[in-house]
Amino acid sequence: MSVSNLSDIQKRSVDDLFRRIAPVADEIGEMFAARGHELALVGGSVRDVFLSRIGNDLDLTTDARPEQVLEIVKDWADAVWTIGIDFGTIGVRKGGWMLEITTYRAESYDRTSRKPEVSYGDTLEGDLARRDFAVNAMAVRLPGHEFVDPHGGLSDLMAKVLRTPGTPEQSFDDDPLRMLRAARFASQLGFTVDPKAVEAMTAMAGRIEIVSAERIRDELDKLVCGGRPREGLSLLVETGLAAHVLPELPKLRLEIDEHHRHKDVYEHTLIVLEQAIALEDPGPDRVLRWAALLHDVGKPKTRRNEPGGRVSFHHHEVVGAQMAKKRLSELRFPKDVVSDVSRLVELHLRFHGYGTGEWTDSAVRRYVRDGGHLLDRLHKLTRADCTTRNKRKAAALSRTYDQLEERIARLADEEELAKIRPELDGNEIQEILGVSPGPVVGRAYKHMLEVRMDQGVIGKEAAREELLAWARAENVLS
């Protein structure tokens, strides 16, 4: 299909695309043509123009082999990188544009390897046929601007449906990660997945285990940080994929006791995630979203049936923090993300000990100190965790948390809560006690921090007396 065959709206979209990316696209297209090679804008770059969301990253495909691509662009590009060359991809920076140029290819997994096998192709149509979904199997040839859509991707785009170019069974067998991509695109684009693809995902869910943890992590992270994560997560659970990549999630579907005295934890979790997203400013907040998703994962392990038909989940926040840390570590998330998410899971119930304001100033200081750099996220997670349908109860909880935040603000005006330290530092402790650096200084510092948390600012002299009293009680004075 040529640009002239498109509807007026579609033609304006393609024309607008090339007004934005010219001269870089036409310039590089002419360079490849001069060397006897094809070049086309492809995949998400074409899809996104019809969604009015084109950025500065362009995906291109060519019949030239990677070494030939390097030869063509080496004197033209501002920078070139070859980290993806084993998969046929060369990265190029030209001005403010980032281009990835990939040789026509087909890739598949054998059943004993976690890495895709890559073989090069010779035609654009063959390359498009191997792509994950028809909406990503559209291209625009360069420099002539011919629109190529052999699998009806534009129609699918207008219908907001995800369908594979060939049979979903063959597509998902070639690259099982595409099953996760379907869920990710459901979240990012708000598209529905073709029923035949859903059927194949359900039948082939176990095939995902051949894919590396890092690739699974990337798709899950994009899904959770998408615009509609509920849709993507629900699809993972319904097809059985979640049982392989995020098994804690489907396990939250606890049967409700006959008296309905506790919520469906799975549905509650999805609501908490949505409510946390509504509190983001700005977003998406990766740590907050993962903490919301995993905040109750400890409930299945800690569930107990109590007298009178009650159900309890004692210490599920502690168990959940350990489980969250394990899962995110196995998915190869960065250590800081693992630490922050698991800490939020551990702290998410702390507020419920506040009651109607019974905490002392000391307890408020501890809350702030324990929250540390995560305090703002902890505020949001705690508020998002209220999913009661009882409007009076919800309003009361909100007012109580407002009061807590007001107390934190008041104390922050009086003290630097986020930087609470003992009034005596390590050097002063050593001088007063007449000791050298070692365990005694550490114990003394910890005691003085407790004094600071309990009593606030008491002054250097009073702090000195507190230290000496502790030292006498501990028999550490020489």
Sequence ranges of the domains in the chain: 3-159, 167-246, 269-420, 421-474
Check residue 417 and give its pLDDT.
55
Q: Among 60-64, 236-240, 454-458, which is the least confidently predicted range?
A: 454-458
Question: DSSP of 155-207, one letter per residue?
Answer: HHHHHTEE--SS-HHHHHHH-THHHHHHHHHHHHH-PEEPHHHHHHHHHTGGG
Check residue 260 and give its pLDDT.
45
Q: What is the mean pLDDT of residues 447-462?
A: 86
pLDDT over threshold 50, residue 435: yes
pLDDT over threshold 90, residue 61: yes
Check residue 369 and give its pLDDT.
83
Check residue 2 and give its pLDDT.
42
Check residue 53 and give its pLDDT.
76
Check residue 9 and give its pLDDT.
61
Q: Among 14-18, 77-81, 380-384, which is the least confidently predicted range?
A: 14-18
Dihedral sign, Cα of residue 255, residue 259, residue 261, residue 263: positive
Please name the fold of domain 3-159.
Beta Polymerase; domain 2 (3.30.460)
Q: Please tell me the distance from the alpha carbon of residue 139 to that of residue 98, in angstroms, as a whole number.
A: 18
Q: What is the mean pLDDT of residues 248-275?
A: 78
pLDDT band per the 50, 70, 90 thresholds, residue 291: very high
Q: Please tell me the distance from the alpha carbon of residue 50 to that of residue 159, in angstroms, as a whole number.
A: 12
Check residue 253 and give its pLDDT.
87
pLDDT band per the 50, 70, 90 thresholds, residue 3: very low
pLDDT over threshold 90, residue 303: no
Query: Tokens representing 27?
Result: 């310039």
Q: Which of 48-57, 253-262, 430-439 has the highest mean pLDDT?
A: 430-439
Please count the residues of the chain. Answer: 478
Check residue 45 and give its pLDDT.
85
Closest alpha carbon to 27 in 94, 85, 125, 89: 94
Check residue 23 and give its pLDDT.
76
Q: How many CB atoms within 10 Å of residue 142?
A: 24
pLDDT over threshold 80, residue 334: yes
Q: How many CB atoms within 10 Å of residue 432?
A: 16
Check residue 101 and give its pLDDT.
96
Q: What is the pLDDT of residues 353-391, one digit of tens each?
A: 776 667 888 888 888 888 989 999 999 999 999 888 888
Instruction: Give me the amino acid identity at 294.
Output: L
pLDDT over threshold 60, residue 78: yes
pLDDT over threshold 70, residue 132: yes
Q: What is the pLDDT of residues 139-164, one digit of tens each?
A: 999 998 888 999 999 999 989 999 99
Q: What is the mean pLDDT of residues 252-261?
A: 57
**Cα 451 from chain centroid (whole Å):** 39
Q: Between 306 and 96, where is the model more confident?
A: 96
Q: What is the mean pLDDT of residues 66-86?
A: 93
pLDDT band per the 50, 70, 90 thresholds, residue 112: low
Q: Among 271-280, 371-380, 452-461, which is the least confidently predicted range?
A: 452-461
- What pTM value is reported for the model? 0.80
Check residue 258 and give its pLDDT.
40
CATH of 167-246, one of 1.10.1740.10, 3.30.300.130, 1.10.110.30, 3.40.50.10800: 1.10.110.30
Closest alpha carbon to 267 in 252, 281, 279: 252
pLDDT over threshold 70, residue 181: yes
Query: Tokens representing 390?
Result: 């009882």
3-state SS assignment for residue 88: coil
Q: What is the mean pLDDT of residues 340-352?
A: 93
- The DSSP symbol for 121 reads -
Instruction: Give me the amino acid identity at 295.
Output: H
Q: What is the mean pLDDT of residues 324-333?
A: 97
Q: Between 221 and 15, where is the model more confident?
A: 221
**Cα 206 from chain centroid (whole Å):** 23
CB-count burial class (<10 Å; 0-12, 13-18, 19+) for 269: buried
Q: Among 105-119, 137-151, 213-227, 389-403, which is the least confidently predicted range?
A: 105-119
3-state SS assignment for residue 103: strand
- The DSSP symbol for 62 reads E
Q: Between 19 and 388, where is the model more confident?
A: 388
Check residue 207 and give its pLDDT.
94
Check residue 257 and give its pLDDT.
42
**Mean pLDDT for all residues in the chain:** 88
Check residue 6 and give its pLDDT.
54
